[in-house]
């Protein structure tokens, strides 16, 4: 089973890449599959690729459900 996790974009990089943050961890990802991403946006990330943008409320609900299920996703709570 694979999970796609909501993360917040904290920096845009050249060549359609970005840095995302989840629970204090920063990771580079590809934005090749998603258009018009800006700093502060939430994206669903799977195996290093952003798959879709997500509004902050949906990101919060998804991360809360993951935590409720016992999945440690970095104790992240999206800012609103």
Q: Domain residue spans in the chain?
A: 5-68
Which H helix or E strand runs over 71? none
User: What are 21-69's pLDDT values in tens digits?
Assistant: 988 899 999 999 999 999 999 999 999 999 999 999 988 888 888 888 8
Tell me the two tokens of residue 11.
Answer: 């920096």
Of 16 and 70, the one with more pLDDT: 16
Pick the CATH number of 5-68 from 2.30.30.140, 3.40.50.620, 1.10.3720.10, 2.160.10.10: 2.30.30.140
CA 37 to each of CA 8, 11, 32, 34, 73: distance values in angstroms, whole numbers, following the listed order: 10, 10, 10, 7, 22
Is the confidence at residue 15, as pLDDT, over 80?
A: yes
pTM above 0.85, yes or no: no
């Amino acid at each position: 089973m694979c999970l796609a996790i909501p993360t917040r974009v904290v920096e845009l990089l050249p060549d359609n890449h970005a840095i995302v943050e989840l629970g204090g961890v920063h990771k580079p990802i590809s934005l090749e599959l998603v258009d018009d991403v800006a700093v502060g946006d939430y994206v669903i990330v799977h195996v290093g690729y952003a798959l879709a943008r997500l509004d902050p409320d949906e990101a919060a609900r998804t991360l809360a459900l993951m935590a409720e299920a016992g999945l440690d996703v970095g104790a992240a709570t999206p800012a609103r």
